[in-house]
Structure 1
C-alpha cells in the first residue's frame, strides 16, 4: 500500500490564446503548487488480468473510468505492459471542480503510487506524455514548484522556484462553466489579438526570471523579485474579464484578498481565488475578510519543488 499527498495548484496569471484545431485553446500560464492536498492510496498486485477499483468518500467524485486517477492507472498499466489488481482510495479534502487542479493532482499521484507499488517506472518523458493524455493539468504535478505551462497547459517547463509565500484560498459556492468562459472570451478578441497576448505573456515570464538560477527562499527577501517583476508588468488571469461580470460576488472576494497581498487572482477558470502574502498575519487578516463575506477560506502556503517531492510520499 502506497499513500501520496496529492498537492493542488494555483495559476499565477493565465493568458488565453486562439482555439486549436482539436477544440482546445492555446494557453500560457505559470503554475504553482500549494500545500493543500488530498490523499491518494494505491494497492497493486501483479495479476493475470487487470482489475481497477476506486473508492472516495465524496459523493461528487465518480468512482469509475470517468475519474482521472482511474484513467491514469489504466493507461499506466498499458504503458508498463503489466496486468495487475489495483485498488485506489481517494481521501478527498479539496473542493471538487474548484480550479485548483485537485482531480488532475489525483491522477498524477495515482501514477506515482502505482509505480512504487509495482517496483517499475516509466521514463520521465513517457510519464509526462501519458499524463498529458489524461488531462491538461496532469503533467505539471509530475514536476511541481513554479512552472510555465503552454499549448493547452500540458507542455510544462520548470522555472526557478519562487519562495514559499503564505496564501489564502477562497472557495465560493458559485460554479463557473469552463467551456462557457472560453466561449465568452472568444467573443471579446480576434485571434491575432489573442496570439499577441500569448507572445507578450511569455516575454514577461522570460524577463522576470532572467538571471535567476534558483530563487527559493522565504518570502520577504530578494527571492520574491521575479513575482514582483511579473506583477509590475501586469500579471493577470484573462478569465476574470469574462467570469467576474457573470459572478459579481467573485470580484468582491478578490477585493477582500487584495488588501495586503503581493498578488491575488482567480485560479484557472475559477471559481476559486487566492492571495499571496509575505506574512502570516496578513494572510490571517485576509482569511477573516473572506469569511466575513460568507465564503470558505483556507490558509496555506506555496510549495517549492524540492519540498513538493520531499514530502509527497507518506
Structure 2
C-alpha cells in the first residue's frame, strides 16, 4: 500500500452499456451460457462516491427509481469494495454513496457499473495500488458485465461475456433509449430462453461468435450498416415475458428517424439507433409525444474514471 490515506473522498463515474450484438449459446453444466457480445458504453452514468468508514455501508440516490436496489452485502458495489479490501489486506471499511443514472434491472449494466466504479474508487481511496490488470481480474469475479464497465469504449465479449477484446469503433453512434418502470430479472430471461428453445427444438450454436458485419459497421462508423446487423438472442424471451415491448419496438422502428431497434441485454430497456444527433433528437421527441420516457445517449464513451471530488 503506497500510503494509508490518499484522499478523504473519491468520486468515480462508470457508464451503462448496450449490447449491439448478443448471441447466446446453450446452457452449460454450471448453469451459465457461453455468449458472444459486442458491447458499447454509452453516455448514461453511475457515480460512486467513496469515503472512509469503519464498516462497509452504502446509500443510493439519483434520478432513477432505486427502490429495489439492496443496501446490504447483496449490493454489487459493496461486494466489490469488500473484494478490494480482502485482496489488498486492508482492514478498514468504506461508505459508498451511489448516484444512479442507469435504469435498474434494465439490461444496461447499471449494477455492474456501480461495481466497477467501487473497485476503482476503493483502490484510490485506500491507496492500495492494485493496478488496472488486477482490478480487471477482480471485476471478472463479480459478474460478466463488470470488466466492460471498467474498460468502456467498444469491445467484444466472449465466454460468459467477460473475456474482452477492445474493438475499433469510428466516430459516434447516437441512440434513443426507452427505459421501463419495471425491470426484468436476467436469470429469468435466460431461463425463459432455454424453455422456448426446448419447446421449439431450436439448437443453439455451440460456439457463439460476433457477426463480422457488426465489426465492419463499427470500424466504419456506419450507423445504417450497424442497424441492419443488430441482434440479441435474449430479445425473443424478453418480448415473451413483457409483450408490451413488442408494441414499443414496432412503433420506434416505424419512425423515419429510427434506423432500427433492439432490446438491451436482458431488457426491458429498448434502444433505437439514429443516423446522428439531429435524427436522434427527432426520434426522442416523437417517442416522448407518444407517451414514452425517451433519452438521447451516445457512444462509445470511456469506462470507469476518477473525477474531481
> What TM bracket, shorter-length normalisation?
0.7 to 0.9
Q: Report the alpha carbon displacement of residue 103 of structure 1 after superposing the two structures with TM.
A: 0.6
Question: How far does the alpha carbon of each residue in 1:111-134 deviate from its partner, in whole angstroms, 9 at most, with x for none?
Answer: 111111122322333212211111
Does 2:103 match 1:95? yes
Q: Report the alpha carbon displacement of residue 205 of structure 1 after superposing the two structures with TM.
A: 5.0
Distance 2:260 2:87 in 1: 41
Does 2:58 match 1:61? no
Q: Report the alpha carbon displacement of residue 188 of structure 1 after superposing the two structures with TM.
A: 4.1
Distance 1:94 1:145 in 2: 17
Distance 1:230 1:238 in 2: 16
Distance 1:242 1:158 in 2: 28
Instruction: Evaluate the alpha carbon distance shift between residue 183 and residue 174 of structure 1 in structure 2; reply closer, same or farther with a 3 A threshold.
Output: same
Q: Report the alpha carbon displacement of residue 148 of structure 1 after superposing the two structures with TM.
A: 0.6
Q: Which runs of 5+ in 1 are unaligned?
A: 216-222
Does 2:94 match 1:86? yes
Describe the SS at the equivalent of 2:273.
Answer: strand
Distance 2:250 2:202 in 1: 32
Does 2:267 match 1:276? no
**Taking structure 2 as the reference length, what is the TM-score of the superposition?**
0.85
- The match for 2:246 among 251, 272, 294 is 251
Distance 1:166 1:230 in 2: 12
Q: Report the alpha carbon displacement of residue 264 of structure 1 after superposing the two structures with TM.
A: 2.1
Distance 1:296 1:37 in 2: 17
Q: Report the alpha carbon displacement of residue 101 of structure 1 after superposing the two structures with TM.
A: 0.5
> Which position in structure 1 is the counterpart of 2:287?
290
Distance 1:204 1:281 in 2: 25
Name which of structure 1's ranges 107-116 and 155-164 shifts more when overlaid on structure 2. 155-164
> Which position in structure 1 is the counterpart of 2:185?
177
> Which position in structure 1 is the counterpart of 2:155?
147
Distance 1:43 1:132 in 2: 24
Q: Report the alpha carbon displacement of residue 228 of structure 1 after superposing the two structures with TM.
A: 4.8
Given that 2:258 and 2:272 are in contact with CA atoms closer than 8 Å, whether structure 1 keeps it comes out as yes
**Taking structure 1 as the reference length, what is the TM-score of the superposition?**
0.83
> Which position in structure 2 is the counterpart of 1:194?
204
Describe the SS at the equivalent of 1:243.
Answer: helix
> Which position in structure 1 is the counterpart of 2:175?
167
Q: Report the alpha carbon displacement of residue 286 of structure 1 after superposing the two structures with TM.
A: 1.6
> Which position in structure 2 is the counterpart of 1:51?
55
Instruction: Evaluate the alpha carbon distance shift between residue 193 and residue 163 of structure 1 in structure 2; reply closer, same or farther with a 3 A threshold.
Output: farther
Name which of structure 1's ranges 283-292 and 186-195 shifts more when overlaid on structure 2. 186-195
Describe the SS at the equivalent of 2:11.
Answer: strand
Name which of structure 1's ranges 2-11 and 62-71 shifts more when overlaid on structure 2. 2-11
Q: Report the alpha carbon displacement of residue 39 of structure 1 after superposing the two structures with TM.
A: 1.6
CA RMSD of aligned residues (A): 2.5
Distance 2:167 2:180 in 1: 30
> Which position in structure 1 is the counterpart of 2:4?
none
Q: Which runs of 5+ in 2 are unaligned?
A: 1-8
Question: How far does the alpha carbon of each residue in 1:202-227 deviate from its partner, in whole angstroms, 9 at most, with x for none?
Answer: 55556x27xx9xx5xxxxxxx414x6
Count of residues paired in the alignment: 292
Aligned pairs for 1:104-253 (under 5 A) are 104-189=112-197, 193-195=203-205, 198-199=208-209, 201=210, 203-204=212-213, 208=216, 215=219, 223-225=220-222, 228-232=224-228, 234-253=229-248
Describe the SS at the equivalent of 1:122.
Answer: coil
Distance 1:173 1:294 in 2: 13
> Which position in structure 1 is the counterpart of 2:5?
none
